[in-house]
Amino acid sequence: MKKFPSSLETSSEEFRSRKNRMLDLLTTLKIREKEVRQHYSEKALEKLRKRGKYPVREKIAKVLDPGTAFHEVGLFAAYDMYDDIPGGYPSAGTVIGVGTVSGRKAVIMANDPLVKSGAWVEMTCKKNLRAQELAMENRLPVIYMVDSAGVNLERQAEIFPDREHFGRIFRNNARMAAMGIPQISCVFGFCVAGGAYLPGMSSDLAMITEHSSMFLAGPFLVKAALGQEVDMETLGGATMHNHISGVADYQFDSEDEALQWIRDQMAAIGPAPETPFDRTSAEAPAYDPDELLGILPHSSSGTYDVREIIARMVDGSRLEEYKPHYGRTIVTAFARLGGFTVGIVANQGQAVKKEMPPDHLGRPQPPQIQMGNVIYSDSANKATHFIMLCNERRIPLIFLHDVTGFMVGKMAENGGIIQDGSQFVNAQANSVVPKLSVVIRNSFGAGNYAMCGKAYDPRLIFSWPTAKLAVMDGGIAADTVMLTKRNLSDEERAAFRQKLVEKYAEEASPIFTAARMIVDGIIDPRHTRDELINGLEMAAHNPDIPPYVTGVMRM
């Protein structure tokens, strides 16, 4: 593979302007991150520490190997979604992510007792199910740090009876046990009602004296239902469950002892299976990843070369483009990332020329100008073939989104864009190799589907602060809807259009989609490489890759 010959002018005024704009977006992002991470008051934190307990992210940090990263997923879950609840639901009341414990990667799920005593709402459930999904897809051990009052009873209808609700957690416990995935649970505080089944269905269970309590019904409910008077320790404390019921396996006197026990349990797990993917020694990019901040234009329709972005992520800034002269609104390339061989599918951020054949009289025809960020039939066909190659060769796929959709219009429809787009979606949807997605700028309509949006099971999916996810651009959507509003006055039409454009802007924003776990997080562009390498290392723990089959595809 050859080093990509960058033509980025990092000393230009345009580059500096683009970089300053990205830095402004990152400043806002960091303010929001701090708001979420430090949501509690000093008084609440002091009260927690007096009880011998650590705040949730500090607890996670203590169990990780020193100097290793915790790749948090869903930091912005539930952001601005529960304004009717005082204080909202920061991070949906739970922290999940992937970290290294005793030399092994593991998924960590930890309730935050400073968010409504760790009680669950709909987004809490969605987030914890996402953690279990990560564990099952990648065959990673799970560490549960339980400290929850159970379901938020005032919102039970949004979390109890449906397929992806609370009960799915325990179904997954059972499925993971059958898959041989270790599940290590420690109850650090409350563990109430149906929530008790999560640690109860784990491989190992520890409790902490005078801190932990597990029961299907607490003292108040027992009193109401049976008339029995019983305190929490007698009903379901650590001593009772270790000495009498036998529900728990270990008992400790402090959180520090329990955290060390978790590390010891992880150390006792056998070696990870041999990776099914090719990997060599990693190499840093030849170009400075800090330059990623100055590539994207201010406008969502401004132009840039996506290969400049790829070159600042991949090892040695080397890539080998597949069909570089054909279907050029999509870049397909082989590269190495963290030593792994990867296939990259990326939407091109600039218009390209398509050479046209002579007409029926043999006269030369001018080239066709194809808009960047749009998927044409030729680019769809190229991506389809490339995805099939990567599946044949067991090469993980990385998708970099900046797509406004598939080409429309008479010429596109006559050329069979529906058929070509369907093949693209079919090949991608049936991929058996791991897929990782990053939304760089736009991800609209069926373009989101073809480029492995959330509905297509990427192992991880992230947004840059510049990302927009929606069925289409807000201005185009508004103009389309306005064609049906013939009875409105000019003033009413203008007001209606503005309101719809603003609605789209809010709902397409990265913070809106991250709050609803449509993406796993919003990341600094400079951290993209690290997050993708983490995703590849996760995926390497699962050696099971079934045969690649697409079924019938319309040709």
- Cβ neighbors of 502 (< 8 A, separation 6 or more) are 474
| Rounded Cα–Cα distance for residues 197 and 201 (Å) | 6
Q: What are the C-alpha distances in Å from 54 to residues 164, 275, 462?
A: 31, 36, 29
Distance in angstroms (rounded) separating the CA atoms of residues 534 and 527 = 11
Q: Residue 96 CB: number of other CB atoms within 10 A? A: 26
The whole-angstrom separation of Cα 535 and Cα 104 is 14
* Token representation of residue 509: 């924003």
- Strand 250-252 to strand 204-208: parallel, antiparallel, or no bridges (unpaired)? parallel
Q: In this structure, which amino acid lies at residue 315?
A: D
Of 218, 168, 74, 196, which Cα lies nearest the Cα of 516?
Answer: 74
The one-letter code for the residue type at 520 is: D
Q: Which residues pair with 344 in a beta bridge?
A: 333, 398
Burial code of 386-418, b = ≥16 C-beta within 10 A, e = fewer? bbbebbeeebbbbbbbbbbbbbeeeebeeebbe
Cβ atoms of 299 and 305 closer than 8 Å:
no
Q: How many whole angstroms separate alpha carbon 302 and alpha carbon 296?
A: 8
Q: Which of 530, 537, 519, 524 is nearest to 74 (CA)?
A: 519
Cβ atoms 380, 424 nearer than 8 A: yes
DSSP for 260-319 reads HHHHHHHHTSPPPPPPSS-B------SS-GGGGGGTS-SSTT----HHHHHTTTSGGGEE
Spatial neighbors of 413 by CB under 8 A, at least 6 apart, are none
Percentage helix, strand, coil, to 5, in the chain? 40, 20, 40
Q: What distance in Å separates the CA atoms of residue 554 and residue 421, rounded to the nearest whole number?
A: 10
Q: What are phi and psi of 307, to 5 degrees?
A: -65, -25
Using DSSP bridges, classify how beta strands 183-192 and 142-148 pair: parallel, antiparallel or unpaired: parallel
Residue 460: CB partners within 8 Å, gap ≥ 6? 73, 436, 437, 520, 531, 532, 534, 535, 538
- Give, rounded to a whole angstrom, the gap between the first and last alpha carbons of the chain: 32
Strand partners, 468: 442
Cα–Cα distance for residue pair 340/459, rounded to 1 Å: 16
Distance (Å, rounded) from C-alpha 343 to C-alpha 249?
A: 46
pLDDT in tens, the chain (555 residues): 999 999 999 999 999 999 999 999 999 999 999 999 999 999 999 999 999 999 999 999 999 999 999 999 999 999 999 999 999 999 999 999 999 999 999 999 999 999 999 999 999 999 999 999 999 999 999 999 999 988 888 898 998 889 999 899 999 999 999 999 999 999 999 998 878 889 999 999 999 999 999 998 888 889 989 999 999 999 999 999 999 999 999 999 999 999 999 999 999 998 888 899 999 999 999 999 999 999 999 888 899 999 999 999 999 999 999 999 999 999 999 999 999 999 999 999 998 988 888 888 888 888 889 988 999 999 999 999 999 999 999 999 999 999 999 999 999 999 999 999 999 999 999 999 999 999 999 999 999 999 999 999 999 999 999 999 999 999 999 999 988 888 889 899 999 999 999 999 999 999 999 999 999 999 999 999 999 999 999 999 999 999 999 988 877
